[in-house]
Amino acid sequence: MLNLATLLSESVKKHPTKAALVIGDAQVTYGELGAFAARFGGGLAKLGVTPGKHVALMLPNVPHFTMAYFGTHMAGGAVVPLNVLLATDEIAYHLEDSDAVALVVWEGFLEQAQAAFNRVDTCQHLIVAKADRSDLSAPAGAHNMTALIGGSEPVVDPPNRMPDDTAVILYTSGTTGRPKGAELTHFNMFFNALYAQRFLMDMTPETTALATLPLFHSFGQTVIQNAVLAAGGTVVLLPRFDPKSALELMVGHGVNLFAGVPTMYFALLHYPDADSYQLDLQYCVSGGSAMPVEVMNAFDAKYGVNILEGYGLSETSPVASFNVLDVPKKPGSIGLPIWGVEFKLVDAEDNTVTEAGAPGEICIKGHNVMKGYYKKPEANEAAFKGGWFHTGDIATRDDEGYYFIVDRKKDMIIRGGYNVYPREIEEVLYGHPAVAEAAVIGVPHESHGEEVKAVIALKAGHSTEPAAVIAYCKDKLAAYKYPRVVEIIAELPKGPTGKILKRELR
């Protein structure tokens, strides 16, 4: 048997009185977390949720997420984490597409979630989680999560699950077409968490991590929640990132592990009062999108750390490659494939690219790769051509085997017959003294097919003009690469993890 809930139950045995989760001034010990999760699993069974069924979670970074996540696995179910910012139509789509039989929702998102729940006949149970544990009320036809836990017998022996049984269905961002659910197995998720815990970072019971990456996202779920709890460490929950709150929590709770996306590192680096906080960080990891080298170097120098940048997707559980502690990192690189995982680059005809420095699409094989998109046979056929998972990401490989993301395949700009990779131009823009954020996209052009456009936000107290930014880039890039159009806006649009949303800019 290999059940993802083992990650928690083993730590419960070893550290029953130790803090597992912290939120604000409150904490949940391992013993309490294990008991709540087991009782939630018992509550699901009481509602008729049988092993193999899917349970959707629409919860922010609160203890209820972790209780429901592992409780669902203790009941033998599979978890479908949903972005808490989804609108009613989107929630209904995810519930229907995933065949979820229950939805657990945070009270703050109840209105849109309940409207969606009412549309989907296959989703039979609505469970409401509330911050006030003394409030046991629930809307008509719904269940209160605290009351369900309190009134249910705990699961003692979780149902037998096999390594290739589905543990989690993670929905992709849907930048092309409607979102697809990546079916990740118990083995996918278990091994990926243990890799992060034992090999990527040497996590121990002394590890205290800040969880500001959404737990409904694969990065925060595996690298923070699952890996840290497997190590017997403490997870400090921050439901919504802002630099002031993050810095205060890191100082107040002695956080020594921080995982974030590049925009979070930038915000921490440039927070006006950052110098008044004395951080004691041991490990920092970055993923989700490419980390600008200038930001990485400045953060490393300011806080005396060594940010490790990696790469992964929802479809790869998510960790696929990383710079690691025991060899020098290469800034700008996503590192080397993790143990047991293979990469190769292919061209547009699916031929293997062998020349160092030549771009190609990353294809992956290994223990971390999903078993497929849920109920999407045609998408699976396209994604697994030749037995390799095709990521849609363009990269180069140097002569030492390190990979460097060039860009998303769909983001590549073709200007006058030349391939232009936005990532390269963005690196130049981040070197401009006035630029805080930058994104490069292609826009239609009558003669060139596409023209290169840069959208930037400026640092506080700085000013510049589009013409000056164009001249700056022209001096540093080939003639076909530099942007001919520059738009300056107050702030670039971002997703829940802080990733810049190019589709909205388009």
CATH of the domain at 468: 3.30.300.30
Residue 141 belongs to some domain of the structure: yes
Q: 84-111 pLDDT, tens per residue?
A: 988 898 899 999 999 999 999 999 999 9
- Count CB-CB contacts under 10 A for residue 24: 11
- Count CB-CB contacts under 10 A for residue 132: 9
Give the end of a domain, one of 186, 202, 231. Answer: 186
Q: 25-82 pLDDT, tens per residue?
A: 999 999 999 999 999 999 999 999 999 999 999 999 999 999 999 999 999 999 999 9
pLDDT band at 420 (very low <50, low <70, confident <90, very high): confident
Structure token digits, residue 449: 């097919």
Residue 53 belongs to some domain of the structure: yes
Q: Who has greater pLDDT, 415 or 30?
A: 30
Helices (H) and strands (E) counted in the chain, each on its own, are: 16, 26
CB-side exposure of 13: number of CA atoms within 13 Å? 6
Q: 346-402 pLDDT, tens per residue?
A: 999 999 999 999 999 999 999 999 999 999 999 999 999 999 999 999 999 999 999
Question: For the whole model, what pTM was predicted?
Answer: 0.90
Q: Is the pLDDT of residue 410 over 90?
A: no
Give the end of a domain, one of 186, 202, 227. Answer: 186
Angle subtended by helix axes 30-46 and 63-74, to nearest 10: 60
Structure token digits, residue 154: 């705990």
**Considering only CA atoms, which of 75, 30, 49 is closest in space to residue 167?**
75
Give the end of a domain, one of 166, 186, 206. Answer: 186
H-helix or E-strand spanning residue 353? none
pLDDT at 175: 47
Contacts of 140 (CB under 8 A, 6+ apart): none
Q: What is the CATH number of the domain that holds 133?
A: 3.40.50.980
For 103-157, give the DSSP string. Answer: EEEEGGGHHHHHHHHTT-TT--EEEEE-S-TT-----TTEEEHHHHHHTSPPPSS
Number of domains in the chain: 2
- Count CB-CB contacts under 10 A for residue 257: 26
Residue 483 belongs to some domain of the structure: yes
Residue 343 belongs to some domain of the structure: no
pLDDT at 271: 93
pLDDT at 477: 87
pLDDT band at 458 (very low <50, low <70, confident <90, very high): very high
Q: Is the pLDDT of residue 480 over 70?
A: yes
- Cα distances from 3 to residues 7, 67, 73, 189, in angstroms, run 8, 15, 7, 10
Residue 172 belongs to some domain of the structure: yes
CB-side exposure of 199: number of CA atoms within 13 Å? 15
pLDDT at 173: 64
Residue 276 belongs to some domain of the structure: no
Cα–Cα distance for residue pair 388/178, rounded to 1 Å: 23
Q: 218-267 pLDDT, tens per residue?
A: 999 999 999 999 999 999 999 999 999 999 999 999 999 999 999 899 99
Residue 454 belongs to some domain of the structure: yes
Range of the domain at 464: 412-505
Q: Is the pLDDT of residue 159 over 60?
A: yes
Residue 447 belongs to some domain of the structure: yes
> Of the ranges 46-55, 142-151, 284-293, which one carries the lowest mean pLDDT score?
284-293
